[in-house]
Amino acid sequence: MGAGAVGCYVGGHLARGVPDFDVTLVGRRALGDAIAGAGGITLCEADTSASHRVEAERLRFATDVDALAACDVLLVCVKSGQSAEVGQALAGVARADALVLSLQNGVSNPPLLRRELGAGRSVLAAIVGFNVVWSEDAGGGPLFTRATSGPLAAQQSDDPRWIALRDALRGAGLDVVERADIEPHQWTKLLVNLNNAIGALSGAPSQQLVLDAGYRHIVADVVGEGVRVLRAAGIAPAAMRGVPVSWMARLLRLPTWLVRPIMRAQMRIDPEARSSMWQDLARGRSTEVDYLNGEIVNAAVRAGVEAPLNARIVELVKAAERDGRGSPDLSPDALRAALTAP
């Protein structure tokens, strides 16, 4: 449900890797037309240059949620702002025993889906630890590229449908890990995703945000503020690949010549990778800023502290949404000035 970049990438791998799985994608009509016109979709792995073709006959495409009525497992991949509406729609359509997996950013979507779907529904939280870029292949067909390394982490469960899905994803080549206590990892991913808005406001690729000291120091300040707010709110994020999140801001403030090998050891980033929030602005759509930087602002209010940088980022992204012309392409100096303006 919500066949965008992540939905098509994950669904495409399931369709190509598991012949006895029937995969239905529910998304916008324009995407369905593009898949039909190209005869399928292409999946690409930026770090290995591997490419996979998924023919259209392996993918059932629909624009209406009713198409999911018979599904055993539902992967919810919509933007966070659509979760309540989608949860209500699925409540009237989905099988009562269907397993629901939230492949969404932020921390609030799984409980929101549980509330809207009603008591007794099985909803698992998951974290997509990689970035997927949606573009066109050489023939103009839909191309979905995994542009950064990272696993798909999911809430541990002994549900046989989850076990079958987990094994299928692994069999299709995805790195899947299970977390007995997933919420601390969701908060860690949210802290990492605070840079999405900086990518959206700057127009800079994700790699440039790391290697350009001007942008990197802004990311460090925004993430550092997030860490301090969560500490004040009594929220303890998990370590990220063995590194305590309290170190993140300090690592980002190191000289570039030191940051480069550290980040290379932590994560592979395609030079063309950009944040999903940048992609939303480019397509004139609402972003998830309320569910990322906005969550830090909300936690600050609850804890009785302030989060001025994240609050200002929310304002700037919303202004860009209203403007409707994509990223404002702010330089490091211009972005710093906008964040500190009275």
pLDDT grade, residue 119 (50/70/90)? confident
Min mean pLDDT across 27-36, 134-143, 330-339 is at 134-143
- Label the pairing between strands 132-136 and 73-76: unpaired
Min mean pLDDT across 26-30, 271-275, 279-283 is at 271-275
pLDDT given at position 17: 80
Q: Is the pLDDT score of 267 beyond 70? A: no
Q: Is the pLDDT score of 265 beyond 70? A: no
pLDDT grade, residue 268 (50/70/90)? low
Q: Is the pLDDT score of 271 beyond 70? A: no
User: What is the three-state SS of 24-40?
Assistant: EEECCHHHHHHHHHHCE
Q: What's the length of the chain?
A: 342
- Segment 74-89 shows an average pLDDT of 96
Q: Is the pLDDT score of 281 beyond 90? A: yes
120: left (phi over 0), alpha (psi -120 to 50) or beta: left
Q: Is the pLDDT score of 309 beyond 80? A: yes
Q: Look at 270 and 274; give whichever has higher pLDDT.
A: 274
In Å, how far are 262, 298, 300, 338 from 291, measured between CA atoms?
Answer: 28, 10, 14, 21
- Contacts of range 322-330, beta carbons closer than 8 Å, 24 or more positions apart: 324/284, 326/203, 326/281, 326/282, 326/284, 327/200, 327/201, 327/202, 327/203, 327/278, 327/281, 327/282, 328/201, 328/203, 329/202, 329/203, 330/201, 330/202, 330/203
What 8-state DSSP symbol labels residue 51?
E
Q: Is the pLDDT score of 31 beyond 80? A: yes
- Segment 137-148 shows an average pLDDT of 90
- Segment 102-114 shows an average pLDDT of 95
Helix (H, G, I), strand (E, B) or coil at 74: strand
pLDDT given at position 141: 92
Q: Is the pLDDT score of 332 beyond 80? A: yes
Helix (H, G, I), strand (E, B) or coil at 146: strand
Structural domains of the chain, with CATH:
5-180 (3.40.50.720), 185-340 (1.10.1040.10)
Residues 193-252 pLDDT 10s: 999 999 999 999 988 998 999 999 999 999 999 999 999 999 999 998 788 888 888 888
Average pLDDT for the chain: 92
**Alpha-carbon span 325 to 281, nearest angstrom:** 7
pLDDT grade, residue 46 (50/70/90)? confident
Q: What percent of the chain has pLDDT over 70?
A: 97
Q: Look at 147 and 298; give whichever has higher pLDDT.
A: 298
